[in-house]
Amino acid sequence: MEKTAHTDLVRPGEQWFFYWKTSAALWESKIREIPLDEVIFLPLNWGFHSDSPESFDFSDSLPERDLLRLTQSLMQQKRKFCWLLPLTPAPFLPNGGVSVSGARTLSLNKEGIQLSCVDAEGTLNKIYSFFEPKVFQAFVKFTQSFGEFLSKHEIRSQVFGAEFFFTENSLNHSYLEDSSQAFDQGFSRYLKKTHSAPNSLSPQEELDLKTKFTQEVRELFSGMAEAALSPYWSGCQKIYCLGGSPRNTIERTLNNQKPQLEYFHDLFNHYSRGEWISSALLTSEEKKGILTQVLQDHFGKTEIEKQYHFKTSSLSLGEEWESYGNVQIIGSLNNSHWKKIGLLDYLDEEFRWMYQQHDEVIFTTDWIEENAHKIKFFSAEGMDRTHFSQMMKLFMMGQKILFDKSGLSPELERRLEIFYLENNLDRQSVNFQTQIVLTTLGDGKFITFEGDKLKTASQAKFVWKNIFKWLNLIQPEVHMDTDVFGLWKIRATNASDLNFLDVRRFSVYNPTSYKKNITVKTQKHFAFMRMNEPLRAKAQSNPQGVDIELLPGGRVSLDFGHYEER
């Protein structure tokens, strides 16, 4: 892949700063180019600081390793900054971040192919196995040395652990995953310690144990980092790297760039799963046009600060635009379950890109307040007492909860019945396609159903249509092709917004090479206000709403006032 002269190698996106990519003499001027109100993220290139397996340099030999000088420049300019410590191989680092002394065994995927990634310079970074014992030993020494460095110089900055992933064939994979000889040897030692008869395992049992072993190694790296950096530790972030899959690497190595349409599919799928992304591997040529715009619009400063908890959410809307969705699917990230019962197909048709999936509830005051307006789906699959209690507390707080009882354990079934009785709740039972029980408590709504009874697509669509009608979800109706992408934002009204309850902005993008038409029906609760920053786009209002025409590479944002129906 040819190197791109216009790519900013030091600031590759998402407010990251690659200090090792430029001369230390230029750090100060580079920092001045960054807006004053942005948090600066400093990914740690731990292999770059290695003098030997036992020694790490942060200020003594090479100027580009001088993190004391870097932090002093940041503090002199009164900049807010934090560190990102890779807990897995990092695709944007040589050797995946491993020092030369530890780069012994190349990481392999399940097909036995060496794992590597092309970075924004066009350099092929080979990924080395983190299951090599010397890698973990060097990592331990690095985290201890870095913690001592921060303490010695009284640098009070946050450190986040970063776990890096790629997506291929709609499946997420950690760069930690490995099938090399180093993994096999480590797994063999693990089996000898944990199983008396490892040769008697079935193929599925062995696969499950390999997954468990990988998870325990992941926890070993993150636990060691947290212990060594405890005064500064702020938790772990999972980061999904655009352009970082093996297939992408082949395409980008051959200079056959991935079409923007595919990047849009990846980006919006990550968004719908609540996954944070990095565009650090992409060149400016790959980010050109509306891909840059969507990254700025929806993965920019406000979203970054929320993701890393530098900005807390408020229950009341403010004047700044905030991301807006209306449905959350919590737990059971196994898409086949939600797809099987027709929920994902219905949401894609009626509320496309307005729902997100999450592993679990982040049961904090900020999270609860920020997401109070959203309808939440829970599944009994894999649910324990803690998650059950959290679900019921959200209902008692006045939230709208839908619970698929399929496979609910007898213990939780009893707890649910006790909950109904203790709170003297009336239940309205409806039997169409599946048994549905409706319960209200103040503003809260609680609906249970048995998803495994929905056998056909038509049955599922009928059920979801009636449930969402009862929930009275108020939102403009959007009709657009599957290769057109749009997201909503919301803000409070100001003096010029008449008597609206709030203002919602719909930003829509056409990454294809064809003209696309989109229709937004405003229903009885919305009024079209204005068109913003059209690029190869037209919008025409009519009594039913707005018709949009987007040429190839076009984008536009439309504002709608939300009012109460009289």
Q: Is residue 287 included in any domain, yes or no?
A: yes
Residue 67's pLDDT band, with cuts at 50, 70 and 90, is very high
Can you give the pLDDT at residue 471? 86
- Ramachandran region of residue 512, left (φ > 0), alpha (ψ -120 to 50) or beta? beta
Can you give the pLDDT at residue 458? 86
- What's the CATH number where 511 sits? 2.60.40
In the chain, % of residues over pLDDT 70:
97
Q: Is residue 536 included in any domain, yes or no?
A: yes
Q: Is residue 143 included in any domain, yes or no?
A: yes
Residue 5's pLDDT band, with cuts at 50, 70 and 90, is very low
The whole-model pTM stands at: 0.91
Is residue 134 within 8 A of residue 101, CB to CB? The reply is yes
Can you give the pLDDT at residue 565? 60
Can you give the pLDDT at residue 6? 47
170 three-class SS: coil
Which tens digit of pLDDT belongs to each residue from 121-144? 999 999 999 999 999 999 999 999
Mean pLDDT, residues 330-358: 84
- Give the chain's mean pLDDT: 90
Can you give the pLDDT at residue 388? 94
Mean pLDDT, residues 478-497: 92
Which tens digit of pLDDT belongs to each residue from 283-326? 988 998 899 999 999 999 989 988 888 876 665 778 889 899 99
Beta bridge partners of 556: 508
Better-scored residue on pLDDT, 474 or 236: 236
Please determine, for residue 333, whether its predicted confidence score (pLDDT) is greater than 70: no
Which tens digit of pLDDT belongs to each residue from 501-553? 999 999 999 999 999 999 999 988 999 999 999 999 999 999 999 999 999 99
What contacts 6, CB < 8 A, 6 or more positions away? Answer: 284, 285
Beta bridge partners of 81: 40
Identify residue 252 by its one-letter amino acid code: R
173 three-class SS: strand
Can you give the pLDDT at residue 224? 97
Q: Is residue 429 included in any domain, yes or no?
A: yes
| 271 and 124 in a common domain | yes
Can you give the pLDDT at residue 279? 96
Please determine, for residue 349, whether its predicted confidence score (pLDDT) is greater than 60: yes
| 481 and 461 in a common domain | no
Please determine, for residue 566, whether its predicted confidence score (pLDDT) is greater than 60: no
| 389 and 527 in a common domain | no
- Check residue 231 and report its DSSP letter: T
Can you give the pLDDT at residue 4? 40
**Phi/psi of residue 197, each to 5°?**
-130, 70
- Check residue 5 and report its DSSP letter: T
Better-scored residue on pLDDT, 32 or 169: 32
Poorest-pLDDT segment among 22-36, 82-96, 312-326, 378-392: 312-326
Count of Cβ atoms closer than 10 Å to residue 76 Cβ: 10
Which tens digit of pLDDT belongs to each residue from 174-187? 999 999 999 999 99
- What's the CATH number where 344 sits? 3.40.50
Can you give the pLDDT at residue 102? 85
Mean pLDDT, residues 148-162: 95
| 247 and 127 in a common domain | yes
471, 494, 526: which is the final residue of a domain? Answer: 471
| 355 and 275 in a common domain | no
Can you give the pLDDT at residue 288? 86
- Give the total number of structural domains in the chain: 3
471, 500, 535: which is the final residue of a domain? Answer: 471
Residue 2's pLDDT band, with cuts at 50, 70 and 90, is very low
H/E element holding 432? strand 428-432
Note down the domain range covering 496.
477-562
Can you give the pLDDT at residue 312? 66
| 482 and 467 in a common domain | no
Q: Which residue bears the tokens 């929930």? A: 471
Q: Is residue 315 included in any domain, yes or no?
A: no
| 490 and 538 in a common domain | yes
Mean pLDDT, residues 476-480: 93
Can you give the pLDDT at residue 258? 74
C-alpha pair distances (Å), 135 with each of 110, 116, 189, 287, 301:
21, 18, 17, 34, 34
| 504 and 407 in a common domain | no
- What's the CATH number where 245 sits? 3.20.20
For the record, the structure tokens of 383 come out as 């649910």
